[in-house]
Chain A
Amino acid sequence: MKKVWLISAAAIVASSTLALGGCSSGGSGGASGGSGHATIEVETDMGSGTPELKALTSIAKEFESTHKNITLKLVPGTGETNYEAAIKVRLAAHNPPDIWMTHGWSVLRYGQFLAPLQDESWAKNLNPALKPAMVDEKGNLFALPTDIDVSGIMYNADVLKEAGIDPASITSWSAFDAACAKLKAEGISPLYVGGKSMAAAVADRLLPGGFSDSALKKMKSGTFVAKDFAKTLKLIANWKQAGYLNPDYSSANQTTMGDALARGQAAFEMGPTSIVNTAHSTNPKAQFGFIPIPSIDDNDTFLVAGERTAFGASKTGKHLAQAKEFLTFLAQPANETAMSAATASAPGLTNAKETKGILSSSFATYVTEKSTPSVPYFDRVYLPDGAWVPLGNAIDSVITGQSSVDAATQMMQQTYESLSAQAKANS
């Protein structure tokens, strides 16, 4: 009997060692083919059939045709949340892809895993608007951006026109409230928010306008400024109280946001510009635009700009040189132009061409002509990594009446302090 147990134990240990050894093998998952051949795994959060993935696939094919010794394995995504979880699991298992999309986190989250790219030939063309978010204090650039996310308050131009509202006249929150009251009277949801995942996106766009410069410095250095944070929550709570938010807030998501904007059921939305792409595909005849975001305390307006589609290369990848080769190819003006056109955004490099997109008219007005100042996404600079969901829940709890503004602010402060302490301990 003892012998049997010994055999069993040995088998378990042996197979466990093999299995776990497989889990923790260092370096990239890119399997090599024949001699000199490299397979580069490129993991993205781009859904199958999206214009972005189609553009990337086409560029990848062109690259493979001129680089016979490199095969690119494009991995499509199944939604942003799943993508992030998948990347985190692979990083934890010391098995990152050769190249992956950093979607706003090339410095703060993924910087320690990515190869610095500031010395690459294309790096000098980085769009200056991206520098605050993508270049760290030591001058490291960890990803190639193929577009730049410029964001304000998105609107359905047809709905506003019918209601007699000139979007350009909305330069303060009082003007916004007046427009909302008018829209509500006409039976339209003035501001449509998808409570299932987009509450934090609203806060991310409003928060910069509620903080003084000194408060922002404090937030960056690890002190939570509750008074300024609460201003944004009060603004949102007032909208809720006035009935300006959509009644299906809790069950609405990013898809329903696009749908509501397309059908003219909603006038204003705050979130990624991909929502407008969804709306446009639902109703190609509808006109959309965006306006800058008013500050809470003064009459300034601003836009939020930052990293969106960007690709970094694993610093431990077995085929780092080939991965960088592909990034250089992707950075070529024609490819960069194609990628940014696929998301209807401005390109991430200055030597690429800007294409006419759904929002190009607003872009020309507020970015090119008026040079509206842009600020980085609040959570990426002033909140510790991991605060996105708690931020969404703080907003959510105010909108659904589960917490007062003060209680939600306190909840966020606790999260901020706990995540900051965790980040400090792990650094």
Chain B
Amino acid sequence: MRSVPLRANLLYVPALIIFAIFIAYPLIRGFGISFTSWDGFSPQKHFIGVDNYLRLFTDSTFGHVVLNTFIYGVGSTVLQQVFGLGLALILRKPTRRSGILRAIIYLPALVSPVIMGTMYYLLFQYNDGALNDLVGLFGADKVAWLNNATVAIIIIVLVNSLQFMGISMVIYLAGLHSIPAMYYEASTLDGAAGWKQFLHITAPLLWPAFTASVVLNLINGLKLFDVITVLTAGGPGYSTNSVSTLISITYFDSQNAGYAASMGVVLFAIIVVFALIVNSSFSRLNPEAD
């Protein structure tokens, strides 16, 4: 085997340094803090063993929030695949109009989720909210959309999906453009069209794009933070919190950094396990795999 030149290997170093400082070090420190009762700012840190982890398993709020996190992760992922793939199929032909539409659909992904959340807050707010103005046009009473936890969760999933469906669309467009046209030409000669072509050519060959899009959206959905903070601040009560927002509240507001760190470790484990399961399942289901 030919050895890699020294200079080429040195190119890894900047990435390794960044990884060590911004990923590995905080992860190790966070893991260490999770075994303490630290308040997040005092000089003293007291080792309390696995108490924080034991508390997690009896904390009903944390259980509820983990469930919310899965709803945000899975719900956003499903919607983004439906919207993203649908739009990619509609806009796959490179015309001037489709180019403009693609740009418009992708634009929200470039906006900060805080701004996106604020814009939707103005839409859903009770007084002067655009949606309640529409409701008023039909003579109905105003609705407090964000008062109901279930409705608020649906709104959060929807807002997050609408913002990032452009990314899924771009991934699927790239996948669609990589499928050789000859497959479609050959299948047309054989009498296949529409749904049959999608099922037997497009879908199998889009599998790598599908895998990438699902894993990406899933990880982002499981980490959802900004939109929740802006739209509901985790309320009513703790009902719309994700693990990420609960970590922030527990760390900074409740001043229980040790407990927040243990939540962070569990969230990390959830994301790793979930991503691995999804990845390996998709690899096994990949129609292109040997």
Contact = CB atoms under 8 A, between A and B. Distances in A.
B92 interface: no
A185 interface: no
A416 B201 CA distance: 61
Interface in B124-146: 124-127, 142, 144-146
Interface in A369-427: 385-390, 393, 396-397, 399-400, 402-403, 415, 418-419, 421-423, 425-426
A367 interface: no
Contacts of B127: 248, 256, 259-260, 265
B21 A195 contact: no
A252 B255 CA distance: 25
A404 to B, nearest CB: 13
B12 A8 contact: yes
B289 interface: no
B126 A419 contact: no
A196 B146 CA distance: 11
A350 interface: no
Given A12-B20, A400-B236, A247 B253 contact: no
A159 to B, nearest CB: 16
A249 B16 contact: no
A284 B268 CA distance: 51
Given A422-B39, A425-B46, A19 B21 contact: yes
Contacts of A390: 254
Interface in B186-200: none
Contacts of A252: 126
A50 interface: no
A15 interface: yes
Interface of B: 3-4, 6, 9-10, 12-13, 16-17, 20-21, 25, 37-44, 46, 48, 121, 124-127, 142, 144-147, 149, 152, 232-233, 235-239, 249, 252-256
Contacts of B48: 425
A422 B237 contact: no
Given A91-B41, A248-B125, A400-B236, 12 more contacts: A7-B10, A12-B13, A92-B40, A196-B235, A249-B144, A251-B146, A251-B232, A393-B237, A400-B149, A400-B239, A418-B256, A426-B37
A178 interface: no
Contacts of A259: 127
A81 interface: yes
A248 B127 CA distance: 8
Contacts of B25: 16, 20
A221 interface: no
A4 B6 contact: yes
A161 interface: no
B45 to A, nearest CB: 8
A390 to B, nearest CB: 6
18 contacts: A7-B10, A7-B13, A8-B10, A8-B13, A12-B13, A15-B17, A84-B253, A88-B255, A92-B40, A197-B233, A250-B236, A251-B125, A251-B144, A256-B125, A260-B127, A387-B254, A399-B236, A425-B48
A247 B146 contact: no
A68 interface: no
Contacts of B121: 251
Nearest to A87: B41
Nearest to B47: A425
A321 interface: no
Contacts of B233: 196-197
B60 to A, nearest CB: 9
Given A3-B6, A389-B253, A393-B238, A250 B41 contact: no
Contacts of A89: 41
Interface of A: 1, 3-4, 7-8, 11-12, 15-16, 19-20, 81, 84-85, 87-89, 91-92, 94, 112, 195-197, 246-252, 256, 259-260, 265, 385-390, 393, 396-397, 399-400, 402-403, 415, 418-419, 421-423, 425-426
Contacts, number: 144
A419 to B, nearest CB: 7
Of B13, B17, B145, B237, which is in contact with the most chain A CB atoms at under 10 Å from its CB? B237
Nearest to A84: B252
Given A386-B254, A388-B253, A402-B236, A251 B37 contact: no
A399 B127 CA distance: 19
Contacts of B146: 250-251
Contacts of A12: 13, 16-17, 20
A16 B20 contact: yes
A199 to B, nearest CB: 8
Given A16-B17, A251-B147, A389 B235 contact: no
A400 B38 CA distance: 32
A366 B269 CA distance: 57
A249 B148 CA distance: 11
Contacts of B147: 247-251, 400
Given A196-B232, A251-B124, A426-B39, A403 B237 contact: yes
A75 B255 CA distance: 24
A425 B239 contact: no
A386 B255 contact: yes
Nearest to A423: B39
Given A8-B12, A256-B127, A16 B21 contact: yes
A350 B17 CA distance: 56
A65 B254 CA distance: 42
Nearest to A12: B20
A397 B236 contact: yes
Contact of B21 (A15, A87, A388): A15
Contacts of B232: 196, 250-251
Contacts of B12: 8
B237 A400 contact: yes
Nearest to B253: A389
Contacts of A388: 253
Contact of B46 (A20, A389, A426): A426
Contacts of A425: 37, 46, 48
A7 B20 CA distance: 15
A415 B259 CA distance: 12
A227 B233 CA distance: 29
A396 B256 contact: no
Contacts of A81: 252-253
Given A247-B142, A400-B236, A426 B17 contact: no
